[in-house]
Amino acid sequence: MTATATPRLSGLPDSPADLRTFLHGLPGVDKVGIEARAAALGTRSIKTTSKAQAIDLAIRMVDLTTLEGADTPGKVRALSAKALRPDPADPTCPSVAAVCVYPAMVPTAAAVLAGSGVHLASVATAFPSGQAPLDVKLADTRDAVAGGADEIDMVISRGAFLAGDYGHVFDEIVAVKEAAGPAHLKVILETGELGTYDNVRRASWLAMLAGADFIKTSTGKVSVNATLPITLVMLEAVRDFRERYGRQIGVKPAGGIRTTKDAIKYLVMINETVGDDWLSPDWFRFGASSLLNDLLMQRTKLTTGHYAGPDYFTLD
């Protein structure tokens, strides 16, 4: 992911009414169809060499995350160390893509990660609810960037989106993007609260039009987080957006992805819908914590031929 300022798109809807017309003019999503397609892709059988390749790619795509009230500097330092060397026993094991923490923990993580190439993401904008005044959200964002975060995971105001106030959501994203400066902006749609696939598609486009570098499914704090069909809708959105505006946007499913098998289903889905261009940590991330150890366990199984117990992998 390269940190460059994003130019405004030409041909954008230029009033709230235009924005509404545009978003409601997008093709609908058939619920039965999209779920069937996602389920069918989930039956692909990925074995041997392709499994090994997929596991290493998935490790490189992990945003290793801790977002707890109980987070302490010690915990964040441990997590950051793990991000650099996920498997201390195997130097060929790649680092993860990024560490993702609350703004208060950013300086602690930055001290460990500095110069390593592992990105530092911070949630911001009154994560996870987004229910705070705009100036608070912007201050939150600026603090995180000043502390060393080079990626900002913001939440949209779902209340405003569901009320149909798309202009409000759009303006907020634009403002946060500006406050984030050189940092990459991931926009969390919190799809579990949006209710329909049509809304997921509209929110994806809204975020991309407003300047998101990544669109992200969830905070991990509600009951429905990332699912394959929701991520498929978002992948279709970034594919269509690039076709229309020539700009590529990344996708990050987050929450609920815990096993290697699940992660591989996502990689298969990318491969067969948007293609190669998104099969890179620059364009696809997994927001996860427990996923990493399962990936490491499967990786070891592939090299040694047997499963090692959980004590052979480090605690986060």
Dihedral over alpha carbons 59, 65, 71, 72 (to 10 degrees): 50
Residue with tokens 């609260």: 193
Q: How far is the CB of 208 from another protein (least distance, A)?
A: 17
Using CB under 8 A as the binding rule, whether residue 276 contacts another protein is answered as yes
301 is catalytic: no
Closer Cβ to another protein, 31 or 163, answer by number = 31
Show contacts with another protein in window 233-252 (CB under 8 A): 236
Using CB under 8 A as the binding rule, whether residue 272 contacts another protein is answered as yes
Tokens of 261: 């098998």
Beta bridge partners of 287: 63, 254
Dihedral over alpha carbons 140, 220, 287, 93 (to 10 degrees): 120
Using CB under 8 A as the binding rule, whether residue 43 contacts another protein is answered as yes
165 is catalytic: no
User: Which residue out of 153, 198, 262, 294 is catalytically annotated?
Assistant: 153
Closer Cβ to another protein, 32 or 315, answer by number = 32
Closer Cβ to another protein, 26 or 175, answer by number = 26
Radius of gyration of the chain (CA): 19
Among 210, 267, 288, 291, binds another protein (CB under 8 A): 267
Q: How far is the CB of 32 from another protein (least distance, A)?
A: 7
Using CB under 8 A as the binding rule, whether residue 279 contacts another protein is answered as yes
* Cα 257 from Cα 267, distance rounded (Å): 12
Tokens of 279: 């099969």
Show contacts with another protein in window 72-111 (CB under 8 A): none
Beta bridge partners of 62: 286
Residue 246 burial (10 A CB sphere; 0-12, 13-18, 19+): exposed
Show contacts with another protein in window 12-31 (CB under 8 A): 27-30
The answer for residues whose C-beta is within 8 angstroms of residue 109's C-beta and 6 or more apart is 76, 77, 79, 80, 99, 101, 120, 148
137 is catalytic: no
Distance, first Cα to last Cα, the chain: 25
Cα 230 to chain centroid distance, Å, stands at: 13
Contact window for another protein (CB under 8 A) among 52-60, 150-158, 288-296, 299-307:
52-60
Contact window for another protein (CB under 8 A) among 53-61, 66-74, 77-85, 289-297:
53-61
Active-site residues: which are they?
153, 216, 252
The contact set with another protein (CB under 8 A) reads 27-30, 32-34, 36-37, 43-51, 53-54, 57, 236, 267-268, 271-273, 276, 279
